[in-house]
Chains A and B, each alone.
Chain A
Amino acid sequence: MIRSELVAKLTEDNPHLTAKEIERVVLAIFDSISDQLSRGGRVELRGFGTFTTRSRDARTGRNPRTGEAVEVDAKRVPYFKPGKEMRQRLNVE
Chain B
Amino acid sequence: MTRADLADVVHREIGLSRAESAMIVERVLYHMCHALSEGENVKISGFGSFILRDKGERVGRNPKTGVEVPIAPRRVLTFRASQLMRDQIAEG
Contact = CB atoms under 8 A, between A and B. Distances in A.
Contacts, number: 137
A38 B32 contact: no
Interface string B69-92: 000001111110100111011111
Interface in A6-54: 6, 9-10, 13-14, 17, 21-22, 24-26, 28-30, 32-38, 40-49, 51, 53
Nearest to B41: A1
Interface residues of B, number: 47
A70 interface: no
B2 A28 contact: no
B58 to A, nearest CB: 15
Nearest to A80: B79
B89 A30 contact: no
A59 interface: no
B27 A10 contact: yes
Contacts of B88: 34-35, 37-38
Contacts of A24: 13-14
A82 B5 CA distance: 19
Nearest to B13: A28
Interface string B53-67: 000000000000000
